[in-house]
Amino acid sequence: MAVTQCEIRDLNGCRFIHQLHDSVNLRKAEYLFYCEQAAIIKVTYVTDSSIHTHSMTGTQFKWGTRTFLMGIVNVSPDSFAGDGIHSPAIALEMASHMVKAGADIIDVGGESTRPGSIPVSLHEEMTRVIPVVQGLCRHVDVPVSVDTYKYEIALKALQAGARIINDIWGLKKDPRLADLAGYYGAGMVLMSNQRDVSPNHDVEFTDIMQVVIDDLRRATSEAVTRGVPADQIIVDPGIGFGKTQPQNLLLLRRLRELRVLGYPVLIGSSRKSVLGHVLQLPASERFEATAATVALAIERGADMVRVHDVKEMARVCKVTDAIVRG
């Protein structure tokens, strides 16, 4: 059995030595750990190369072994999906059910991102989001993600215990989010959002997949430059964000091409308008369409799906994984 010595340094530069016992093939990797006082410490050591393991502030995601689920908790009353809630107690109850049903992450958002929605004030978003994040971090045993592009919201959420920043603008609105993630050892979901150049979702990009790939390269490079370890980053092509409906469908069709980036891929197609475009049905009747996109996305390389209906989509993932991953 191989014994590997690694060096750990905390934020103050204090040095520790840790012995790793490993009997498998080894490669060099970097992880983030937390000590008992929750100070961030960084360690370089060698580990199994057969599985790509993403360590998100203490929770490990072994990409390729199965599809992971991010459960959506909207505390915005005007959510496009009609699932917005007002009470932290109800949010906690909903999230608890999601975790029992198989959610690996709970994503909390306090501002509707539907096309044409009006941004809420910083104070209003803070009032909606932070009490819910605080409650969830105390009572659920999966990482909590905050869905925001605002520095102040992300900071308060991380201080309250959130472990992931889900930035729908991919650092376009405020690159300092990456500084926060780097300092707190938080994971980042970086989305490709074209609403800055296509606010009405009507720009006919020559090659939308290349546009998305280039945008995510920019975002991930910015994040890494600002101190976010590459293995703390997940990318999202941004279904429904600045694309025409045919372009949204094309992104799903060509999803495999995102693998060129080398990052885990998250897909958020749950109840989205592209499904209503195909079926001519409201958000409340897009359940089966969501299931279709989840199954297809897994077959085409998605590592995580962001969904409203966790119990049912967990079953879709399990069956699709059995077929696709074996």
How many whole angstroms separate alpha carbon 280 and alpha carbon 85?
A: 26
- Residue by residue, pLDDT tens for the chain (326 residues) are 333 444 444 344 443 333 333 332 333 333 333 333 333 333 333 333 334 566 665 678 899 999 999 999 999 875 544 455 778 899 999 999 999 999 999 999 999 877 777 888 999 999 999 999 999 999 999 999 999 999 999 999 999 999 999 999 999 999 999 999 999 999 999 999 999 999 889 899 999 999 999 999 999 999 999 999 999 999 999 999 999 999 999 999 999 999 999 999 999 999 999 999 999 999 999 999 999 999 999 999 999 999 999 999 999 999 999 999 98
- Provide the 3-class DSSP secondary structure of residue 22: strand
What's the fold here for domain 64-324?
Answer: TIM Barrel (3.20.20)
Q: What pTM, to 2 d.p., does this model score?
A: 0.82
CB-CB neighbours of 278 under 10 Å: 14
Active-site residue, 100 included: no
Backbone phi, then psi, for 147, in 5-degree steps?
-90, 95
Active-site residue, 28 included: no
> What six digits make up the tokens of 150?
């605002």
Q: Which of 128, 195, 243, 272 is catalytic?
A: 272
* Domain-wise residue ranges, the chain: 2-50, 64-324
